[in-house]
Amino acid sequence: MKRATRSDLQQWEENGISYHLIDVREEWERQAYSIGGVHIPLSELLGRKDEILKNEPVVIYCEKGIRSQLAIQRLESSGYENLYNLEGGMKAWKLSTTT
């Protein structure tokens, strides 16, 4: 499984690499803290997979990286090859802003 860190995403942006974010957390988690992207809760993922692009990098994130890993496994079994797990999820993201 491919992984991306906050630093990787910053480098992609600096290099003009387009990517998309998918947040698989619950709505209340997203309201508390979000880095943007499309909100597709894990429970709705397979029913909404047509909303996820296959031709550009897609970074999937959750709180700790566990649900996003499950999401990627499910999507890869449907033919997706362009998915990245945000390493450490929002927990690691928030920690990287305080250091």
**Identity at 73, one-letter amino acid code:** Q
Q: Is 87 a catalytic residue?
A: no
| Helical H segments across the chain, by residue range | 6-14, 27-32, 66-76, 89-98
Task: Say if residues 58 and 34 touch (Cβ distance below 8 Å).
Answer: no
Q: Which of 9, 42, 62, 86 is catalytic?
A: 62
Burial 65-94 (b: 16+ CB within 10 A, else e): bebbbebbeebeeeebebbbbbbbbbebbe
Question: Residues with catalytic annotation?
Answer: 62
